[in-house]
Homo-oligomer: A and B are copies of this chain.
Amino acid sequence: MDKVTVLFFPDNLVANVEPGTSVLRAATLAGVELKSNCGGDGTCGRCLVKVKDGNVRLKSTGAVSQKAKQAGMVLACQTMVEGNVVIDVPKDSRLDEHQVLLDEKEVLVEQDEGLAEGYAIKPVCRKVKLSLTEPTLTENVSDWNRLQAALRSELDCGEIHIALPVLRELAETLRAGDWDVTVTVAQLNGCAEVVHLEPGHSDRKSFGLAVDIGTTTVVVYLIDLDSGLTLGKKGTYNKQARYGDDVITRMIHASDKKGGLQDLHKAVIDTINQLIDEVLEQSQASGDDVHMAMVAGNSTMTHLFLGLTPKYIRLEPYIPLAAETPPVRAEELGLNINPTAFVATFASVASYVGGDIVSGTLVTNMAQSDEITLFIDIGTNGEMVLGNRDWLMTAACSAGPAFEGGGITFGMRAMKGAIEYVEIDADTYEVKVSTIGKMKPMGICGSGLIDCLAKLREVGLIDRAGKIQTDLDTPRIRQGDDGWEFVLVFGEETECNKDIIITENDIKNLLRAKGAVYAGIRSMLKAVQLDEEVIEKVLIAGGFGNFINIRDAISIGLLPDLPPEKYRFIGNSSVKGARLSLLSQDAYHEAQELGKKMTYLELSVGNDFMDEFMSALFIPHTDMTLFPSVTNLK
Contacts and interface: CB of A to CB of B under 8 A. Distances in A.
Given A142-B321, A143-B312, A164-B328, 19 more contacts: A137-B316, A137-B318, A137-B604, A140-B317, A142-B320, A142-B322, A143-B319, A143-B320, A144-B325, A145-B323, A145-B324, A164-B332, A167-B306, A167-B308, A168-B306, A170-B321, A171-B308, A171-B309, A175-B312
A605 interface: yes
B137 A325 contact: no
B322 A167 contact: yes
A574 interface: no
Most buried by B among A318, A321, A324: A321
B309 A142 contact: no
A319 B142 contact: yes
Contact of A138 (B143, B162, B605): B605
27 contacts: A137-B316, A137-B317, A137-B318, A137-B604, A140-B317, A140-B602, A141-B323, A142-B348, A143-B312, A143-B322, A144-B321, A144-B323, A145-B323, A161-B326, A162-B326, A164-B306, A164-B326, A167-B306, A167-B308, A168-B306, A168-B308, A168-B309, A170-B322, A171-B309, A171-B311, A172-B309, A172-B311
Nearest to A137: B317
B307 A144 contact: no
Interface string A281-296: 0000000000000000
A350 interface: yes
Interface in A124-158: 135-138, 140-145
Nearest to A328: B164
Nearest to A265: B168
Given A137-B316, A311-B171, A144 B324 contact: yes
Contacts of A140: 317-319, 350-351, 602
Q: Report the copy number of this chain in the oligomer.
A: 2
Interface string A345-368: 000101100000000000000000
Nearest to A141: B323
A325 B172 contact: no
B307 A168 contact: yes
Nearest to A604: B137
Interface of chain A: mostly helix, strand, loop or mixed? loop
Contacts of A141: 319, 323
A143 B321 contact: yes
Nearest to A325: B167
A322 B309 CA distance: 38
A458 to B, nearest CB: 41
A255 to B, nearest CB: 10
Contacts of A321: 142-144, 167, 170-171
A144 to B, nearest CB: 4
Interface of A: 135-138, 140-145, 161-162, 164, 167-168, 170-172, 175, 306-309, 311-312, 316-326, 328, 332, 348, 350-351, 602, 604-605
A142 B302 CA distance: 13
B306 A142 contact: no
A487 B443 CA distance: 100
Nearest to A146: B319
A189 to B, nearest CB: 9
A170 to B, nearest CB: 6
Nearest to A322: B144
A309 B351 CA distance: 46
A539 to B, nearest CB: 27
Complex A-B, nearest 6 residue pairs according to Cβ-Cβ distance, in ascending order: A144-B322, A142-B323, A171-B321, A137-B317, A142-B320, A135-B319
Nearest to A315: B175
Contacts of A138: 602, 605
Contacts of A316: 137
A330 to B, nearest CB: 12
Contacts of A164: 306-307, 326, 328, 332
Contacts of A144: 321-325
A66 to B, nearest CB: 45
A138 B141 CA distance: 54
A598 to B, nearest CB: 14
Contacts of A332: 164
A396 to B, nearest CB: 13
Nearest to A162: B326
A307 to B, nearest CB: 6
A30 B390 CA distance: 72
Contacts of A312: 143, 171, 175
Contacts of A143: 312, 319-322
A605 B138 CA distance: 9
Contacts of A319: 135, 140-143
A321 B140 CA distance: 11
A45 to B, nearest CB: 34
A121 B253 CA distance: 47
A17 B563 CA distance: 81
A216 to B, nearest CB: 25
Residue with the greatest number of chain B CB neighbours at <10 A, chosen from A137, A319, A348, A351: A319
A318 B142 CA distance: 9
B136 A317 contact: yes
A326 to B, nearest CB: 6
A455 to B, nearest CB: 41
Contacts of A136: 317
A323 B145 CA distance: 7
Most chain B beta-carbon neighbours within 10 Å: one of A164, A307, A328, A332: A164
A142 B347 CA distance: 11
Nearest to A140: B317
A506 B311 CA distance: 72
A167 B308 CA distance: 8
A316 B135 CA distance: 9
A321 B312 CA distance: 46
A136 B315 CA distance: 11
